[in-house]
Amino acid sequence: MNKKLAIIFTLIGCMIILSFTGCSNDKKTEKKEVSVESNGMEKDNSQEKDSGEMAKEKDKMPKEMDKKMPEGMDKKMPKGMGEGKMPSMGGAVITVSEGEGYPVTITDMYGNEVTLEKKPEKIAAISGTFLGVLCDLGGKSICTSETGGGAPVDPKDIEGLPVVGKVYNPDIEKIVALQPELVIAQFGLQNGVIPVLEQSKIKALALHMRTYEDVIDNIRAIGRIIDESNKAEEVIADMEKEKKELVDKLPEESKKVVILYATSKDVSVKLPKSIAGNVADILKLENIAAGCAPEGMGGETTPFSMEYIIEKDPDVILVTSMLSSDEDAKKVISEKLGKDLVWKELRAVKEGNIVYLPQKYFLYNAGCDFVDAIEYMAKGVYPEVFGGLDE
């Protein structure tokens, strides 16, 4: 009898132990799931910031709504700058079915396929970046979002158009009420509108445009959508010609650059995957941040490190910004770095080789005018070859 009781008690004890072990594993699993979700949100937030759309408006948002940034700048080399590799966007690309006319099928950055049986007469371009390309190719939008002064949109093209809210928070009810046949949204910044529009049986494309190659792909895609492929190829041919003329004039010996990114809160460094970084690559400049790890998944900046910049000793310091105006960038750099004795001793600073890049080219994507951004940076870095910025 005693043996039977001992066996029973042993079994009960094992069951209790197993139950506690299971709770422990559940907690670990739950924590892991939260971590994954957190990373996903971080990726979305960085894509939203990278897009550049309405950054000036976002900069004015209440502090509690904005992502907290560390105060000041650490002169020690932080984790990120000088180590690691940059993740890609997962290899997602825009594809368009071959041939001419309709039907035409476009695969967007989500991997969603949208088939148009005929030319869409009512297109809602809810991002200034793509609204500019659409209009440059002879198309029209039935609405606009609140675009900033630097957005690549001719004011005449949006005059009188209904406004469907902030570019980073479009009013879906207003969009649906306009009954568009196709909505062109910005991947990352406007991801949230796509599933809602699809539920309303409205076709929508999430497009992405950051680099020169992105611009060319999107010009072709939008040209195909509005049956203006010939116009699109003309625009591309002009861009390629102008770009080649600039690249052919480059001196044999390239220069080293660092691309700073100034906001009202901090200063970081742009990676090659940014607009400015891509332009620097086209001009065969050596970006000292190449190979550095981004601050967040899919991000295009890496933490500022004075130590690293001193070590690399760039020939030119380029400054991009997300502020109320281009002039404010100079104030931020002066306030954050100007009093630093180490900063003052940098060769580029002592020689006056600091170039402030305008937001209309390097915060917003200039679209069909992307070559203007290339020319601007070329003049800033090689004034002896391309002429100064004031010429």
pLDDT digits (tens, 9 = 90+) for 121-133: 999 999 999 999 9
Residues above pLDDT 90, as percent of the chain: 67
Which residue segment(s) compose the domain that 101 sits in? 95-245
- Report the DSSP beta bridge partners of residue 146: 166
Give the CA count within 13 Å in the CB-facing half-sphere of 212: 20
pLDDT of residue 19: 40
Range of weakest confidence among 102-116, 142-156, 339-353, 359-373: 142-156
Question: Is residue 274 domain-shared with residue 331, that is, in the same domain?
Answer: yes
Reported confidence tier of residue 10, pLDDT bands at 50, 70, 90: low
Enumerate residues 6+ apart whose C-beta is below 8 A from 41: none
Question: Is residue 238 domain-shared with residue 108, that is, in the same domain?
Answer: yes
23 within domain boundaries:
no
Question: Is residue 139 domain-shared with residue 184, that is, in the same domain?
Answer: yes
Nearest to 81 by CA among 299, 254, 235, 383: 299
Domain boundary among 187, 219, 245: 245
State the chain's mean pLDDT as an integer: 81
What number of other Cβ atoms are within 10 A of residue 389's Cβ? 14
Give mean pLDDT, residues 344-368. 96
Per the structure, the count of domains in the chain is: 2
Question: Is residue 267 domain-shared with residue 364, that is, in the same domain?
Answer: yes
Question: Is residue 280 domain-shared with residue 361, that is, in the same domain?
Answer: yes
- The rounded distance, in Å, linking the Cα atoms of 69 and 75 is 16
Whether the per-residue pLDDT at 228 is higher than 50: the answer is yes
Do 113 and 221 form a contact (C-beta atoms < 8 A)? no
Whether the per-residue pLDDT at 331 is higher than 60: the answer is yes
pLDDT of residue 22: 33
pLDDT of residue 391: 57
Question: Is residue 186 domain-shared with residue 261, that is, in the same domain?
Answer: no
Question: Is residue 229 domain-shared with residue 137, that is, in the same domain?
Answer: yes
Question: Is residue 61 domain-shared with residue 118, that is, in the same domain?
Answer: no
pLDDT of residue 80: 42
Range of weakest confidence among 238-252, 292-306, 364-378: 292-306
Domain boundary among 197, 217, 245: 245
Instruction: Please write the tens of the pLDDT for every residue from 64-96.
Output: 323 333 333 343 333 444 443 333 344 468 899
34 within domain boundaries:
no
Question: Is residue 124 domain-shared with residue 75, that is, in the same domain?
Answer: no
pLDDT of residue 13: 52
pLDDT of residue 85: 33
Question: Is residue 148 domain-shared with residue 208, that is, in the same domain?
Answer: yes
Give mean pLDDT, residues 297-320. 95
The alpha-helical segments, DSSP class H, found in 206-254 are 212-225, 229-248
Question: Is residue 312 domain-shared with residue 179, that is, in the same domain?
Answer: no
Domain boundary among 245, 267, 298: 245
- The rounded distance, in Å, linking the Cα atoms of 257 and 113 is 40
Do 221 and 94 form a contact (C-beta atoms < 8 A)? yes
CATH number at residue 119: 3.40.50.1980
Give mean pLDDT, residues 292-308. 91
43 within domain boundaries:
no
69 or 386, which is more confident: 386
User: Kindly report the CA angle at 87 between 170 and 63, in degrees rounded to 5?
Assistant: 40
CA distances from 379 to 161, 208, 213, 247, 386 (A): 37, 28, 22, 12, 5
Whether the per-residue pLDDT at 260 is higher than 90: the answer is yes
Nearest to 135 by CA among 65, 200, 226: 226
Structure tokens that stand for 49 in this block: 């910031």
Residues above pLDDT 70, as percent of the chain: 76
Question: Is residue 79 domain-shared with residue 59, that is, in the same domain?
Answer: yes
Which of left, alpha, beta for 356 (phi over 0: left; psi -120 to 50: alpha)?
A: beta
Whether the per-residue pLDDT at 352 is higher than 50: the answer is yes
pLDDT of residue 325: 86
